[in-house]
Amino acid sequence: MNATATAIWHDVECGGYRADLPLWEELAERRGGPVVELGCGTGRVAMHLAARGCRVYGVDLDPDLLATLAARAGDLEVEPIAADGRDFELPEPVALALAPMQFLQLLPNGADLQLCLESVAAALRPGGLLAAAIVESLPPSDSALLPLPDVREIDGWVYSSLPVAAATTNGRIVLRRLRQTVSPTGELRDEDDEIQLRALSADELEAAAEAAGFAPAGRRIIPETEAHVGSLVVLLQRGS
């Protein structure tokens, strides 16, 4: 997949999600800046906060997504940083670290989670806060219908991403989507996409964070929407 397509699919599948933004904005206002976002992608959260006066560092491994973020940020105080969330350094200590959209569950195992938590702890000021969104479990299959596809039209091309299956198996939450692209001349192309999230409970995350120098600082709920399941935000405060 080329750079443009990478950013487009990220925008199609993540760009329209807004249910978590009020909480990130609230935490940033309370904590002040600067802020680091892990897995920033094309800047959905980072630019929202920067537009409200925050200085934001956006950490992501994908250079294509970071290039898109840099191009979009303009004069906003957003600095893209190409780094792994398990091993990154910032130009200065930050007051708040955000891990939206189940970023920590994309890490493959407990050792990688521990490395990430240690890197975040090193990046935070004493007393700084980490806020991490997780999904502890999927809703029962008979309690909710799969949502409608995420669709975006760009330069005459139509991009559609349809959730087709979600299941928990072997300690993983597996999410499958059907991606469809329709060209301006009507040609249709299909491709399957799969994301695996590591099963992780709030209690497990708090225990792992304690070993990295954090203390539990509360939990918040992000409600479900028509297109997205709800999530639990675990708040963790770095020790002095």
Kindly report, residue by residue over 163-214, the tens digit of the pLDDT. Answer: 887 788 777 888 889 999 999 999 999 999 888 899 999 999 999 999 999 9
- For the chain, give the percent of residues with pLDDT over 90: 70
Residue 240 pLDDT more than 90?
Answer: no
Residue 124 clears pLDDT 80, i.e. is over it: yes
pLDDT at 125 over 70: yes
pLDDT of residue 139: 64
Between 152 and 55, where is the model more confident? 55
Contact 34, 129 (CB under 8 A): no
What is the per-residue pLDDT for 164?
84
Contacts of 104 (CB under 8 A, 6+ apart): 113, 116, 132, 134, 200, 205
The confidence score (pLDDT) of residue 28 equals 97
> Which of 57, 19, 50, 16 has the alpha carbon at shortest distance from 35?
57
Domains in the chain, ordered, with CATH?
3-137+199-238 (3.40.50.150), 150-197 (2.20.25.110)
Q: What per-residue string of b and e applies to 23-57 under the rule 16 or more CB within 10 Å gives b?
A: bbeebbeebebbbbbbbbbbbbbbbbbbeeebbbb
- Mean predicted confidence (pLDDT) in 154-161: 90
Q: 23-47: per-residue pLDDT in tens?
A: 999 999 999 889 999 999 999 999 9
Whether residue 215 is predicted with pLDDT greater than 50 in this model: the reply is yes
In degrees to the nearest 10, what's the CA dihedral of 7, 9, 10, 16? 120
CA-based Rg of the chain, rounded to a whole angstrom? 18
Q: In what order do the strands lie in the sheet with 172-182?
A: 150-154, 157-169, 172-182, 188-198
The whole-number pLDDT of residue 3 equals 47
Average pLDDT over residues 48-56: 96
Average pLDDT, the chain: 90
pLDDT value at 82 more than 60: yes
Per-residue pLDDT band at 143 (split at 50, 70, 90): very low
pTM of the prediction? Answer: 0.90
